[in-house]
C-alpha cells in the first residue's frame, strides 16, 4: 500500500436476512463514489472500537440497532485516493427495519451472487461478495473410503451433508491402500464431483492427489507443506484456493499465494491428531484476525460449534468426523 495516501480504519456490516440475502446501500450523491453500491458502515473514530463504530454507523445510516454480530474478515484495500482497513462483521439480527436515512439513493437486499454483478459496485465489496456466495459456513472433508466401499454410501454421504447445510466439500484420501493417484481413486473423485454438482455444491481436491486431477475440481485445498513450495497462486482466480494453516507463518504464506480462504487448527482435541495439543479458541481468534480472508476452524468441531467459531473470527467450521454418514 502507498504510504502517501490518507489511511482510514473502517467498520463494515454484512447484514444477512433469514433467506441468506445481504444488504447493500448506494452511497449518497454528495460523497465520493456517488450512487455506487456498498456494504453499510463507516470510519472508526479515534478511541472507538470497531464494534462500537459499527453500531453507531448502522444506527446513523440505516436506523437499526444490531443485536447479533460476529467479527468476520479484516483486510486492506487501496483506492485511487485513499487506503482503507476494513473490519467486516456478520450481522444476523437487529432491531428496526433498515432504511436509508443519510441520503442513500437505494437500500436493497440481494443474493450475494447477484450483487457481485452490479455495474456500480464499490471495488472493496467484490471479494466479500464472492466469499459469501461461494463459501458455505460448513465445509465437509471426505472421511476415509476403501476400495470395497459401496458407491451408494458416497451418494448418501453427500446428500446427508447437503441436508445439513454443506455447500462446500473436499475430496481427501491420503491413506488409500493403493496410493493417492490410482485410477480407482480418480473414478471415486469424479463420482463425488458429479454428486456435488448435481446438488449445486462445490468440490475441492486436496493437494495430496495428482496435479493432473486439479483442473476438474472447483478448486484445491493445499496442505501447508505443499503451499510453502509454491512461488505463486497455482490456480486461476475462477477456482477456489484454500490453504491449511497451523501457525502465523502458514497464514502469511497463504496470503502470499492469494488464497481465497484458509483452514486453521486444530482448535480442539481431535481424533486425527491425538498426540498434538489444540490451539484453543483464543489463539485461533488471534491468528484468524490476521488472515485477511475467511478462515474455517477445524479440529474436533461439529456444526454445533458454529456460533462459537464465528464469535472468534471464523467464517465457519470444517470437519471430517462430524459429517460422516449416519448409520
CA distances from 149 to 143, 161, 203, 310 (A): 12, 18, 20, 35
Residues forming beta bridges with residue 14, ordered by sequence position: 90
Distance separating alpha carbons of residues 58 and 56, to the nearest angstrom: 6
Angle between helices 183-198 and 151-163 (to 10 degrees): 30
Alpha-carbon distance of 290 to 310, in angstroms, equals 15
- Residue 255 annotated as part of some ligand binding site: no
Q: Which of 263, 252, 251 is nearest to 204 (CA)?
A: 263
Is 61 annotated as belonging to a binding site? yes
List of residues 6+ apart from 114 with CB closer than 8 A: none
39 is in an annotated binding site: yes
Residues ≥6 apart with Cβ < 8 Å to 210: 180, 181
**Residue 191's CB: how many other CB atoms inside 10 A?**
15
- 38 has binding-site annotation: yes
Q: Give the position of cell 428496526.
A: 96
**Is residue 152 a known part of a binding site?**
no
Q: How far is CA 240 from CA 111, 135, 234, in A?
A: 20, 9, 10
Neighbours of 20 (CB within 10 A): 11
Cell numbers at residue 36, please? 455506487
Cell numbers linked to 60: 446513523
- The answer to whether 40 is annotated as binding is yes
Q: Please, what's the largest Cα pairwise distance for the chain?
A: 67
Residue ranges for the binding site? 27, 38-41, 61
Q: List the binding residues for 8-oxo-dGTP.
A: 27, 38-41
Residues comprising the binding site for Mg(2+)?
41, 61
Amino acid at each position: 500500500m502507498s504510504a502517501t495516501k490518507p489511511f482510514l480504519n473502517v467498520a463494515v456490516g454484512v447484514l444477512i436476512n433469514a433467506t441468506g440475502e445481504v444488504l447493500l446501500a448506494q452511497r449518497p450523491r454528495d460523497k465520493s463514489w456517488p450512487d455506487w453500491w456498498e456494504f453499510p458502515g463507516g470510519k472508526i473514530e479515534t478511541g472507538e472500537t470497531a464494534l462500537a463504530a459499527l453500531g453507531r454507523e448502522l444506527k446513523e445510516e440505516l436506523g437499526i440497532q444490531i443485536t447479533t454480530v460476529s467479527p468476520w474478515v479484516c483486510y486492506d484495500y487501496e483506492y485511487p485516493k485513499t487506503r482503507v482497513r476494513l473490519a467486516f462483521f456478520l450481522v444476523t439480527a437487529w432491531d428496526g427495519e433498515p432504511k436509508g436515512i443519510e441520503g442513500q439513493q437505494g437500500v436493497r437486499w440481494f443474493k450475494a451472487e447477484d450483487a457481485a454483478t452490479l455495474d456500480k459496485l464499490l471495488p472493496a465489496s467484490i471479494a466479500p461478495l464472492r466469499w459469501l456466495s461461494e463459501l458455505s459456513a460448513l465445509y465437509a472433508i471426505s472421511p476415509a473410503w476403501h476400495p470395497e466401499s459401496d458407491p451408494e454410501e458416497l451418494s448418501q454421504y453427500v446428500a446427508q451433508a447437503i441436508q445439513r447445510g454443506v455447500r462446500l466439500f473436499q475430496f481427501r484420501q491420503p491413506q488409500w491402500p493403493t496410493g493417492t493417484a490410482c485410477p480407482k481413486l480418480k473414478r471415486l473423485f469424479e463420482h463425488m464431483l458429479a454428486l456435488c454438482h448435481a446438488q449445486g455444491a462445490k468440490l475441492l481436491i486436496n493437494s495430496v492427489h495428482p496435479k493432473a486431477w486439479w483442473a476438474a475440481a472447483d478448486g484445491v485445498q493445499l496442505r501447508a507443506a505443499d503451499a510453502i513450495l509454491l512461488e505463486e497462486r497455482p490456480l486461476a482466480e475462477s477456482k477456489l484456493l484454500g490453504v491449511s494453516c497451523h501457525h502465523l507463518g502458514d497464514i502469511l504464506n497463504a496470503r502470499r499465494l492469494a488464497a481465497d480462504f484458509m483452514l486453521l487448527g486444530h482448535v480442539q482435541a481431535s481424533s486425527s491428531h491425538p498426540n498434538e495439543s489444540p490451539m484453543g479458541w483464543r489463539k485461533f481468534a488471534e491468528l484468524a484476525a490476521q488472515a485477511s480472508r475467511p478462515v474455517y476452524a477445524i479440529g474436533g468441531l461439529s456444526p454445533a460449534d458454529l456460533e462459537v467459531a464465528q464469535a472468534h473470527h471464523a467464517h465457519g467450521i470444517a470437519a471430517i468426523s462430524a459429517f460422516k454418514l449416519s448409520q
